[in-house]
Amino acid sequence: MTALGSAKTVKTTCPYCGVGCGVLATPQADGSVAIAGDPDHPANFGRLCSKGSALGETLSLGGRLLHPEIGNRRASWGEALDLVATRFRQAIEQYGPDSVAIYGSGQLLTEDYYVANKLMKGFVGSANIDTNSRLCMASSVAGHKRAFGSDTVPGNYEDLELADLVVLVGSNLAWCHPVLYQRLAAAKAERPDMRVVLIDPRRSSTADIADLHLPLRSDGDSALFVGLLGHLAHHGHVDADFVAQHTSGAESALLLAEDWPLDRVAEATGAAAADIATFYDWFAKTERTVTVYSQGVNQSASGTDKVNAIINCHLLTGRIGRKGMGPFSVTGQPNAMGGREVGGLANMLAAHMDFTPEAIDRVGRFWQAPNVATKPGLKAVDLFSAMARGDIKAVWIMATNPVDSMPDADAVRAALEACPFVVVSDMNAKTDTGHYAHVRLPAAGWGEKEGSVTNSERRISRQRPFLALPGEARPDWWIISEVARRLGHSKAFPYRTPSDVFAEHVALSAFENDGVRDFDLAGLSGADYAAIQPTQWPLRTKPIARMFGNGRFFTPDQKARFIPVMPPPPIRPAPGSFVLNTGRVRDHWHTMTRTGKAARLSAHYAEPFLEIHPADAERLNIRRATLVRVSNARASVTLRAVVTDRQPQGQVFAPMHWTDQFASDGRIDALVAAKTDPVSGQPALKMARVHVEPAGARLFGFFVAAQSPALTSDYWAVAPIEGGTRGELAWFNEPEDWIAWLKANFHLPSNARIKTFSDDRAGRRNFAVLEDGRLILALYTSPDPVIVSRQWATTLLTKTNLSASVVLAGRPGADTPDPGATVCSCFSVGINTITAAIAKEGCDTAEAIGQCTKAGTNCGSCRPEIRRILASAMAPLSQSQS
Ligand SMILES: Nc1nc2c(c(=O)[nH]1)N[C@H]1C(S)=C(S)[C@@H](COP(=O)(O)OP(=O)(O)OC[C@H]3O[C@@H](n4cnc5c(=O)[nH]c(N)nc54)[C@H](O)[C@@H]3O)O[C@H]1N2
Ligand SMILES: Nc1nc2c(c(=O)[nH]1)N[C@H]1C(S)=C(S)[C@@H](COP(=O)(O)OP(=O)(O)OC[C@H]3O[C@@H](n4cnc5c(=O)[nH]c(N)nc54)[C@H](O)[C@@H]3O)O[C@H]1N2
Ligand code: SF4
Ligand SMILES: [Mo]
């Protein structure tokens, strides 16, 4: 990577989560980039989480796609673009516009997204453009539109700080929106009366801040909130004026709610009646209540109903559009919100307009497009089914990895194999999706491209470049415009800069608007693109921080709508099977194409895992740290067992992150059925049915190697470390010839001398290869999971004057204490260092631990874990005192 111009600090926005933190990026003389939080950005005021702070470590060009490829050969841009345009044109001519499709992403910038949407809906004449936001925000969008008549998030981040009660539903805020979580934690520390309730089947890290945790069954949310609606009505906690003047449909919603008294809610959800009563009481009596919800709500076959069940409670109490209150759907991706603005979902047209005759006419006139799509296109799951049937002749996938992130992921793989022409635009040369592409286009990435993004609180921020475009990589808006021109639409795609695109996007939002559409950027007309400061929409004359404060909604009668919700039965584990819950870990982002490059971020969790309750593990004879096979009729994956009572019985949890690039068998979405919400089309990604059993590994291994290996063991998972790669291995049968196996799997010098240690009684065998005192390979094997300090072993590659005997012994010398598993990734502080600070230095608060070890003093993302370690270390002490 090369810095742009002279090294100076550039104000940009984090490319990860929807909090949308401002970042200061400063290229350094040595080629690295210093990253800091932007103190002036209203999302983070200078804070960054572990992923944001490690951004500088993800910018190397290793693994990047740096020139177009046709098949597996390098091609010129001209050749590749011509081919894409030709194949799309042929398909359109022969089979009609609906035979082609774009599958995009909330990680495209608004400018990229706008151009892609305009090309498909305006000029190809098909609405077959959908996005990974279908897997993410679709239920919230649908719920908003049902209730408000528009896809509007009413509140802002400050409301979380101003609230007296914050209810977190299906949100692991501590790990997934860490800076917003930190703002909440800071507000709570300042006002200890403030309460937080967590509604989540498992005790996630977010439970750390919760005064009450309701571990309900999967999909118990509708029952819980319908019950709450009934409770509020029954006990007179109703804002009757608001309901009468500004809402419709309360009666039918309340009628259904009458059927859900407390005991029925408790029976259905599995949560304790007393805890539910406490929650209802707090909600009823706390005017300033914000309900934050995320994927535990959206990713469900009843996700849209869950959203409306929540919104109904805010409408009944009139708690919306005012300080410190409101329903608040937090967006996942950096530009999930921007994608919704441009109309990136197949069922929206553009600029928050639907497929109504007036809007189709209006958008057609604005774009001067003769051929505007007149009906919604295929939603993601239906799109890939149509592809599998042969109905999609050409597809273009941008900035997303559906082979890993779509439900029924093996069927998605098969659909791509069946598709006659697949184009993938990505930053990386090797992804599980790119593998199936006929044409791979090198996209510019964060730091290289420029544009804008919109965060969860409707705030538009600029992403600005500080690195030169590497190789032949180009920004997505440019690539799409070039194809559009080749399809004969030069006049409509004249853009020379993202600023040209943004100006048109602003103009469309304001076109014939007059306040009838929520999305309006008129105030940005003629703005100096380079200088745009983070700003919220709607922005006609000045930004509106909270929507609906005036009681006016975007429905025909301007009233918000109650939606009657009939709760579905929550999902109970069936005998002999488990409910598979899925989600995220703190330091990885999705399919790991960027965070998987950073050693620091890969230390927190270095392999795919399955969390399972101790009683379930015992019943199935699953021992800690062994491998389990998780399977159903669709597929099977192999994961490390993490036995923990944070998981409820009958349910298991696995992260969504691991792909074929990082593990032998970790693609969790291969197990998930493509069942969708009937209103939003969003798949139920968090409640697959699976069987769990010991994988039956006979031998385990752990290695660190200077070169990345090509592994053939029955199980493997790799992660980057400083100077090389670390990996976990397992075999069902021990390799017959170890030396041959090592040579076949690892890059060893031809004259390598492989040193061996064997303990035949214990069945352990260790191997070391060194060259001039530096480690090339260390491999430890054992019939039980290998007990070697990973923290120690992963530093070996940086050491000089190493001796084979130290490596083979597999333990640090007495003078080097083992820091244990990484907790704080900013300063690489391990759990043993933290417990030692508690036991030996008498640190009894997270702050004291920070002073003593530096853990938790940079981004703060690990503070929930530090407090948890502290609590368990102090527990015996306080018990013995009482
Ligand atoms: N570290 C990190 N942060 C991220 C991302 C990342 O990849 N890594 N991705 C970003 C993106 S795109 C998104 S969408 C967000 C997602 O952010 P979140 O939605 O907060 O994250 P998840 O881990 O997907 O799921 C949240 C919780 O839903 C719970 N859950 C499962 N089923 C149910 C249910 O039926 N009801 C309830 N109430 N809860 C349930 C799970 O146990 C889990 O703890 O994170 C964003 N931030
Ligand atoms: N089981 C289960 N499955 C899930 C979820 C879950 O909770 N559970 N969550 C779902 C959700 S909410 C989401 S958002 C999805 C996320 O899933 P994906 O969107 O599939 O995951 P990413 O790894 O973010 O994929 C982004 C790709 O775009 C590339 N890229 C990055 N920047 C750019 C760019 O500027 N241009 C281009 N062209 N490419 C770029 C990256 O290298 C990467 O390959 O997963 C969904 N799948
Ligand atoms: S919370 Fe972390 S990942 Fe999210 S935008 Fe801020 S720094 Fe980036
Ligand atoms: Mo997402």
Q: Supply 523's token pair.
A: 């105030």
Q: Residue 439 and residue 840: Cα distance in Å, rounded?
A: 59
| Measured torsion, CA atoms of residues 798, 800, 805, 811, in degrees rounded to the nearest 10 | -40
Indicate if ligand 1 lies below 6 Å from the C-beta of 201: yes
Residue with tokens 């307009």: 353
Indicate if ligand 3 lies below 6 Å from the C-beta of 14: yes
Give the amino acid at 757: F
- 158 CA distance to ligand 1 middle (Å): 21
Q: Is 785 helix (H, G, I), strand (E, B) or coil?
A: coil
Beta strands 69-70 and 33-37 are unpaired
Query: Among 415, 443, 416, which Cα is nearest to 429's?
Result: 443
Instruction: Identify the pLDDT of residue 814.
Output: 61
Instruction: Identify the pLDDT of residue 142.
Output: 98
Residue with tokens 């090797």: 430
- 170 CA distance to ligand 1 middle (Å): 7
pLDDT at 882 over 50: no
Q: Give the chain's end-to-end CA distance (angstroms, integer).
A: 59
Each residue's pLDDT tens digit, 238-272: 999 999 999 999 999 999 999 999 999 999 999 99
| Kind and range of the H or E run holding 851 | helix 846-853
Q: Residue 418 and residue 391: Cα distance in Å, rounded?
A: 10
Average pLDDT over residues 414-426: 98
DSSP 393-449: SEEEEES--HHHHSSSHHHHHHHHHH-SEEEEEESBS--TTGGG-SEEEEB--TTT-
Average pLDDT over residues 75-90: 98
User: pLDDT category, 878, cuts 50, 70, 90?
Assistant: very low
Quick check: bond before 465 cis, omega within 30? no
Report the chain's mean pLDDT, rounded to a whole number: 95
Q: Residue 116 and residue 441: Cα distance in Å, rounded?
A: 15
User: pLDDT category, 763, cuts 50, 70, 90?
Assistant: very high
Q: Find out whether 748 and 709 touch, Cβ atoms under 8 Å.
A: no
Instruction: Identify the pLDDT of residue 836.
Output: 85
Residue with tokens 């999609």: 392
Indicate if ligand 1 lies below 6 Å from the C-beta of 302: no
Each residue's pLDDT tens digit, 793-813: 999 999 999 999 999 998 876
Dihedral over Cα of 192, 827, 666, 108: its sign: positive
Closest approach atom of ligand 2 to CA 106: 14
pLDDT at 65 over 90: yes
Among protein residues, the one whose CA lies closest to atom 46 of ligand 2: 405
- 172 CA distance to ligand 4 middle (Å): 13
Instruction: Identify the pLDDT of residue 881.
Output: 37
DSSP 387-401: HHTT--SEEEEES--
pLDDT at 454 over 50: yes
Instruction: Identify the pLDDT of residue 880.
Output: 37
Instruction: Identify the pLDDT of residue 817.
Output: 66
- 404 CA distance to ligand 2 middle (Å): 9
Closest approach atom of ligand 3 to CA 334: 5
Q: Find out whether 464 and 497 touch, Cβ atoms under 8 Å.
A: no
Rg (C-alpha) for the chain, rounded Å, is: 27
Q: Please state, as a whole number, how many other Cβ atoms lie within 10 Å of the Cβ of residue 615.
A: 12
Which residue ranges form the domains of the chain, and what is each CATH number? Answer: 78-136+335-517 (3.40.50.740), 139-329 (3.40.228.10), 578-694 (2.40.40.20), 699-809 (no CATH), 822-881 (1.10.10.1100)
Instruction: Identify the pLDDT of residue 225.
Output: 98
DSSP 178-230: HHHHHHHHHHHHH-TT-EEEEE-SS--GGGGG-SEEE-PPBT-HHHHHHHHHH
Indicate if ligand 3 lies below 6 Å from the C-beta of 21: yes
User: pLDDT category, 875, cuts 50, 70, 90?
Assistant: low
Instruction: Identify the pLDDT of residue 589.
Output: 97
Residues 1-13: b if buried by 16+ CB within 10 A, e if exposed: bebbeeeeebbbb
Please give the DSSP secondary-structure letter assigned to residue 648: P
74 φ/ψ sector (left φ>0, alpha ψ -120 to 50, else beta): beta
Instruction: Identify the pLDDT of residue 620.
Output: 97
Instruction: Identify the pLDDT of residue 393.
Output: 98
Ligand of minimum distance to the alpha carbon of 594: 2
Q: Which of 48, 171, 590, 601 to mutate to test the pocket of ligand 3 (most atoms within 8 A of CB)?
A: 48
Average pLDDT over residues 124-146: 98
Indicate if ligand 2 lies below 6 Å from the C-beta of 432: no
pLDDT at 724 over 50: yes
DSSP 270-301: -S-HHHHHHHHHHHHH-SSEEEEE-HHHHSST
Average pLDDT over residues 431-448: 98
Query: Among 556, 700, 705, 576, which Cα is nearest to 641's?
Result: 700
pTM, 2 dp: 0.96
Q: Please state, as a whole number, how many other Cβ atoms lie within 10 Å of the Cβ of residue 174.
A: 27
**Residue 243 to residues 247, 306, 331, 466, 566: CA-CA distances in angstroms?**
5, 20, 28, 51, 21
Indicate if ligand 1 lies below 6 Å from the C-beta of 171: yes
| Kind and range of the H or E run holding 879 | helix 863-881
Instruction: Identify the pLDDT of residue 841.
Output: 84
Q: Supply 701's token pair.
A: 């291994």
Instruction: Identify the pLDDT of residue 813.
Output: 65
Query: Among 204, 420, 221, which Cα is nearest to 303's?
Result: 221
Each residue's pLDDT tens digit, 593-648: 999 999 999 999 999 999 999 999 999 999 999 999 999 999 999 999 999 999 99
Give the amino acid at 796: L
Ion ligand 4 residue ranges (Cβ < 5 Å): 136, 332
Residue 131, strand partner residues: 104
Q: Residue 705 and residue 774: Cα distance in Å, rounded?
A: 11
Query: Among 408, 392, 402, which Cα is nearest to 436's?
Result: 402
Angle between helices 110-117 and 476-486 (to 10 degrees): 20
Residue 571, strand partner residues: 218
31 φ/ψ sector (left φ>0, alpha ψ -120 to 50, else beta): left
Instruction: Identify the pLDDT of residue 821.
Output: 82
Kindly tell me the burial class for residue 498, based on how many C-beta atoms sit within 10 Å of its own C-beta (0-12, 13-18, 19 or more). buried
Q: Residue 669 and residue 590: Cα distance in Å, rounded?
A: 12
SS3 string, 361-390, reads HHHHHHHCCCCCCCCCCCCHHHHHHHHHCC
Each residue's pLDDT tens digit, 619-630: 999 999 999 999
Question: What percent helix, strand, coil does the chain show, rounded to 5?
Answer: 35, 20, 45
Q: Residue 547 and residue 550: Cα distance in Å, rounded?
A: 8
Kindly tell me the burial class for residue 81, based on how many C-beta atoms sit within 10 Å of its own C-beta (0-12, 13-18, 19 or more). buried
User: pLDDT category, 873, cuts 50, 70, 90?
Assistant: confident
Indicate if ligand 2 lies below 6 Å from the C-beta of 139: no
Ligand of minimum distance to the alpha carbon of 105: 2
Instruction: Identify the pLDDT of residue 370.
Output: 86
Indicate if ligand 2 lies below 6 Å from the C-beta of 705: no
Kindly tell me the burial class for residue 815, based on how many C-beta atoms sit within 10 Å of its own C-beta (0-12, 13-18, 19 or more). exposed
| Measured torsion, CA atoms of residues 274, 280, 284, 287, in degrees rounded to the nearest 10 | 110
Among protein residues, the one whose CA lies closest to atom 33 of ligand 2: 399
Q: Residue 708 and residue 726: Cα distance in Å, rounded?
A: 9
SS3 string, 66-101, reads CCCEECCEECCHHHHHHHHHHHHHHHHHHHCHHHEE
Share of residues in the chain with pLDDT > 70 (%): 98
